[in-house]
Structure 1
Amino acid sequence: MTRERKTWYSYLHTTWQKYQGPLLSNMLTVGIVSLLVKGVSFFKEILIADTYGISELLDTYLIASLIPTFIQSVFLNSYGSVFIPNYVQEKESKKHMGAFQSSSFLITILLALLMIGITYIGIDIYLESLFPGHNSTYYELIKTQLWVILPSILFWGISSLITGLLMIEDEFFYSSLNNLFVPIVTIVLLLLFQQQLQEITLALGMLSGSILSCVYLVIVGIKKKVIFLKKPDFKSKNIRVLLSQVPAKISSGLINGVNPMVDQYFSAQLAIGAIAALNYGYKIPIVTISLISASIGNTLLPYFSKKVLEGKKKLYEYLQSVLGKILILMSIIALVLIFLSKFIVAIFFERGAFTSQDTEQVYVIQQMFLLQLPFYVTGIVMNKYLTALNKNNFLVLSSLVSLALNIILNYILMELMGTKGLALATSLVSLGNSTVIYLYIKKLYKKQNNV
Structure 2
Amino acid sequence: MKITNYIENIKKALKNPTIINVITVAIISILVKGLGFYKEIIVAGSFGLSELLDTFFIAALLPGFINEVFLTAFKLVFIPNYIAEKKSSNRIGAFQSTSFIITLVISILFIIISYLFTDVFLETFFKGHTAEYYHLIKTQLYYLLPCILFWGFASLLSGLLNIYDDFKYASIYPIFTSIAMLVCLLFFKEQLQEKVLAVGMLIGSILQFIFLLFITIKKKIIKIAPPDFYGYHAQTMFKQVPAKISSGFLTGLISVTDQYFAAQLIIGSIAALNYGLRIPAFFTAIIVMALGNVLLPYFSKLALTNKEEAFKTLYYILKRLFLGLIVVSVILIFLSDFIVQLFFERNEFSSNDTKTVANIQRMFLIGLPFTICGNIIVRFLTSINKNAFMAYISFASVILNIIFDIILMKYFGVFGIALCTAFLQMFRSLVYLKYTTKQQKVLAT
Within 1, Cα distance between the matches of 2:412 and 2:53?
A: 23
| Structure 2 letter corresponding to 1:434 | S
- 1:336-356 CA-to-partner distances (Å, cap 9, x unmatched) read 333333433444445677676
Within 1, Cα distance between the matches of 2:54 and 2:261?
A: 14
Q: Structure 1: 5+ residue runs without aligned partners?
A: 1-12
Kindly indicate whether residue 16 of structure 2 is the aligned counterpart of residue 21 of structure 1: yes
Residues 181 and 209, structure 1, Cα contact 8 Å, conserved in 2: yes
Q: Which residue of 1 aligns with 2:202?
A: 207
Residues 56 and 272, structure 1, Cα contact 8 Å, conserved in 2: no
Kindly indicate whether residue 390 of structure 2 is the aligned counterpart of residue 390 of structure 1: no
Change (3 A) 1:125 1:331: farther
Residues 24 and 168, structure 2, Cα contact 8 Å, conserved in 1: yes
Counterparts of residues 36-435 of structure 1 (less than 5 Å): 36-52=31-47, 58-93=53-88, 95-131=90-126, 139-194=134-189, 197=192, 199-269=194-264, 275=270, 277-350=272-345, 359=354, 362-435=357-430
Q: Structure 2: 5+ residue runs without aligned partners?
A: 1-7
Within 2, Cα distance between the matches of 1:368 and 1:201?
A: 38
- 1:389-426 CA-to-partner distances (Å, cap 9, x unmatched) read 11111011111011112222333444555544444333
User: 1:139: how far off?
Assistant: 5.0
Residues 13 and 19, structure 2, Cα contact 8 Å, conserved in 1: no
Q: Which residue of 2 aligns with 1:3?
A: none
Which segment drifts farther, 401-410 or 208-217? 401-410
**Local SS of the residue matching 2:173:** helix
| Structure 1 letter corresponding to 2:75 | G
Within 2, Cα distance between the matches of 1:19 and 1:88?
A: 26
Which segment drifts farther, 323-332 or 135-144? 135-144
Q: Which residue of 2 aligns with 1:4?
A: none
Residues 143 and 202, structure 2, Cα contact 8 Å, conserved in 1: yes
| Structure 2 letter corresponding to 1:110 | V
Which segment drifts farther, 260-269 or 230-239? 260-269
Within 1, Cα distance between the matches of 2:321 and 2:291?
A: 9
Within 2, Cα distance between the matches of 1:142 and 1:269?
A: 26
- 1:265-312 CA-to-partner distances (Å, cap 9, x unmatched) read 344556776655544443322221111011111100000001012222
Within 1, Cα distance between the matches of 2:254 and 2:411?
A: 20
User: 1:108: how far off?
Assistant: 0.8
TM-score normalised to the size of structure 2? 0.87
- 1:96-128 CA-to-partner distances (Å, cap 9, x unmatched) read 111100100110111111122222333444444
Q: Which residue of 1 aligns with 2:30?
A: 35
Q: Which has the higher contact order (CA 8 A, sep 6+)?
A: 1
| Structure 2 letter corresponding to 1:341 | S
| Structure 2 letter corresponding to 1:74 | V
Residues 363 and 422, structure 2, Cα contact 8 Å, conserved in 1: yes
| Structure 1 letter corresponding to 2:301 | K
Within 2, Cα distance between the matches of 1:408 and 1:199?
A: 41
Residues 53 and 353, structure 1, Cα contact 8 Å, conserved in 2: no
User: 1:335: how far off?
Assistant: 2.6
| Structure 1 letter corresponding to 2:152 | G
- 1:408-448 CA-to-partner distances (Å, cap 9, x unmatched) read 23334445555444443333322221122111112222233
Within 2, Cα distance between the matches of 1:270 and 1:143?
A: 31
| Structure 2 letter corresponding to 1:89 | A
Within 2, Cα distance between the matches of 1:270 and 1:127?
A: 25
| Structure 1 letter corresponding to 2:432 | I
| Structure 2 letter corresponding to 1:78 | A
**Local SS of the residue matching 1:232:** coil
Change (3 A) 1:56 1:192: same
| Structure 2 letter corresponding to 1:166 | L
Within 2, Cα distance between the matches of 1:312 and 1:274?
A: 46
Over the aligned positions, Cα root-mean-square deviation in angstroms equals 3.1
Residues 281 and 369, structure 1, Cα contact 8 Å, conserved in 2: yes
| Structure 2 letter corresponding to 1:296 | L
Residues 401 and 433, structure 1, Cα contact 8 Å, conserved in 2: no
Change (3 A) 1:267 1:366: same
User: 1:134: how far off?
Assistant: 5.7
| Structure 2 letter corresponding to 1:86 | N
Change (3 A) 1:222 1:110: same
Q: Which residue of 2 aligns with 1:10?
A: none
- 1:157-178 CA-to-partner distances (Å, cap 9, x unmatched) read 1011111111111101111110
Residues 234 and 240, structure 1, Cα contact 8 Å, conserved in 2: yes
Change (3 A) 1:242 1:443: same
Q: What is the percentage of aligned positions where both structures have the same residue? A: 47
| Structure 2 letter corresponding to 1:257 | G
| Structure 1 letter corresponding to 2:296 | L
Change (3 A) 1:187 1:88: same
Change (3 A) 1:300 1:448: same
